[in-house]
């Protein structure tokens, strides 16, 4: 009898595990599948319907926002009808599962497919082995792009975090007008990379002799000082540094806001104790404030490194990758869409992806270490 009961309980547990597994899969895949069907049908209606634009806009909002909300609510309601033990094991998959499925479809699959394409020829019809990767590390333009990208990765985080930390420290000491000062410094973040690039093209604009007056800000200053105008964006290697100025201008506000919040979180007791012990303000900054916000500095630095590695807009708009300003992301887009070479474009994308992985791994490990301390 005991053995029969044991076998029965084992069978019941196995059946329950299978049932729970089925529910998990249904929760994880059911939501995105149903949502995709609803959105697809809505798209078909919006594309083919001759209804007024206001009606179409309302339909899109109702389906896009309300439909997804009702879908998750219905799934949650269905899970609530199960036993409490099964609810605890299935409910997380209702909310997290669809996100994981969508991430797999739109991130994991493209990464795998791009890796496969990197071993094929330009038309993705036949395998060429490592030829595309040989091109990446032997072509002169690609080597310049790698060198320039390394420069961006070093200089952008250094100046962005450094200047942002300086602004955060100084603004934090303002008695009045702190919000206004922060808003002005943060304002460039509201401008897209393309918009900022167009603005700065006017700053660096150069017209050869005989093609009209100089409209660029810098060359206007040069002419007013009775000096010859300079083709700033053609002057190698300084043109790369001038392009980096644009990104520093854009991202300094972001770094300042994050670091300012971290500085305000440093306990006043520690700062007062350091001052009572005779530390000067410079020593308080370097030996108390900076170590206290080091984790935030690392987060901002990591973000800037990743942004610098995938920089594309500024180069494409301001120089089109000419005059020695190539970067890896610009080469990738050029080979993919301008030269129509899927193999070389995919190989460049894989190299960029692999270069980002160590940074992400270090960031995850740092988060895990901080959580362990807490």
Encoding tokens for residue 125? 């019809």
User: In which band, very low, low, confident or very high, does the pLDDT at 327 lie, cut at 50, 70 and 90?
Assistant: very high
Say how far apart CA 23 and CA 362 lie, in whole Å: 36
Q: What is the DSSP letter of 51?
A: S
Residue 194: both structure tokens together: 């393309």
Burial of 38 (C-beta count, 10 Å sphere; 0-12/13-18/19+): middle
Kindly state the average pLDDT of the residues 12-41: 65
Q: Domain residues of the chain, as ranges?
A: 2-117, 131-373
pLDDT value, residue 16: 64
Can you tell me whether residue 59 is helix, strand or coil? helix
Query: For position 80, what pLDDT does the model report?
Result: 74
The pLDDT score that the predictor gives to residue 136 is 93
Q: What number is the average pLDDT over the span 169-190?
A: 86
Lowest pLDDT segment from 16-25, 47-56, 127-136, 235-244: 16-25
Q: Which of 28-32, 56-60, 318-322 has the lowest mean pLDDT?
A: 28-32
> How many Å separate Cα 207 from the centre of its chain?
36
Q: How confident is the model at residue 66 (pLDDT cuts 50, 70, 90)?
A: confident
Backbone dihedral angles phi then psi of residue 219, each to the nearest 5 degrees = -70, -25
Superfamily for the 131-373 domain: MetI-like (1.10.3720.10)
Cβ-based neighbour number of residue 78 at 10 Å: 15
């Amino acid at each position: 009898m005991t053995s029969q009961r044991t076998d029965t309980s084992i069978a019941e547990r196995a059946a329950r595990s299978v049932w729970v597994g089925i529910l998990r899969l249904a929760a994880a895949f059911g939501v995105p599948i149903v949502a995709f069907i609803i959105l697809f049908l809505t798209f078909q209606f919006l594309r083919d319907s001759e209804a007024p634009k206001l009606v179409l806009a309302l339909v899109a909002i109702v389906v896009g926002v309300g439909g997804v909300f009702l879908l998750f609510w219905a799934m949650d309601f269905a899970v609530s009808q199960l036993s409490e033990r099964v609810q605890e094991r299935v409910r997380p998959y209702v909310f997290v599962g669809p996100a994981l499925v969508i991430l797999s479809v739109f991130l994991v699959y493209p990464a795998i497919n791009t890796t496969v394409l990197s071993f094929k020829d330009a038309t993705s019809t036949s395998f060429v082995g490592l030829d595309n990767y040989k091109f990446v590390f032997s072509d002169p333009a690609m080597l310049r792009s790698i060198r320039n990208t390394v420069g961006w990765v070093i200089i952008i985080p250094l100046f962005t975090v450094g200047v942002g930390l300086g602004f955060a420290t100084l603004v934090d000491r303002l008695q009045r007008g702190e919000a206004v000062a922060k808003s002005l410094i943060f304002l460039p973040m509201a401008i897209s990379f393309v918009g900022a690039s167009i603005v700065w093209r006017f700053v660096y604009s150069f017209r050869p002799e005989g093609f009209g007056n100089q409209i660029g800000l810098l060359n206007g200053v040069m002419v007013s000082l009775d000096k010859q105008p300079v083709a700033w964006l053609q002057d190698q290697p300084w043109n790369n540094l001038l392009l980096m100025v644009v990104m520093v201008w854009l991202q300094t506000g972001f770094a300042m806001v994050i670091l300012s919040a971290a500085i305000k979180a440093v306990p006043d007791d520690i700062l007062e104790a350091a001052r009572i012990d005779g530390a000067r303000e410079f020593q308080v900054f370097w030996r108390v404030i900076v170590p206290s916000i080091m984790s935030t500095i690392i987060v901002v630095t990591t973000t800037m490194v990743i942004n610098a590695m995938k920089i594309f807009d500024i180069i494409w708009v301001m120089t089109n990758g000419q005059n020695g300003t190539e970067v890896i992301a610009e080469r990738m887009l050029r080979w993919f869409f301008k030269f129509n070479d899927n193999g070389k474009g995919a190989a460049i994308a894989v190299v960029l992806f692999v270069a980002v992985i160590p940074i992400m791994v270090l960031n995850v490990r740092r988060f895990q270490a901080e959580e362990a301390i807490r």
